[in-house]
Amino acid sequence: MVIFGVAVDLKILWNLADLFMGIMALINLIAIVMLGNVAFTALKGYRAQRNQGKDPVFYADSIPGSDGVECWEIKEELLKKNKA
């Protein structure tokens, strides 16, 4: 890629950089739109727990659309661990 940058006119190089930055921005905007509902659901749960005076705790099964989230435990599995 460096050799390509040396061999090409500077204007073409900047235009290619702009093109790729635009593509990256579009990909990020699509991801934001797709994850927006999950984020707003998590925010709603957070605010509800804070209004109750609790320290917010999140479980993977309490937020619809958060299937496959590895950082939050499933509430039922956590309860089974605590009983054992």
8-51: per-residue pLDDT in tens? 898 998 999 999 999 999 999 999 998 888 888 889 989 999 99
Distance of alpha carbon 37 from alpha carbon 60, whole angstroms: 15
Q: Which residue has the higher pLDDT, 63 or 31?
A: 31
Give the per-residue pLDDT at 37: 85
Give the per-residue pLDDT at 36: 87
Sign of CA dihedral 66, 72, 77, 83: negative
Residue 80: pLDDT band with limits 50, 70, 90 = low
Give the per-residue pLDDT at 79: 59
Give the per-residue pLDDT at 75: 67
Task: Report whether pLDDT(63) > 70.
Answer: yes
Distance of alpha carbon 32 from alpha carbon 63, whole angstroms: 17
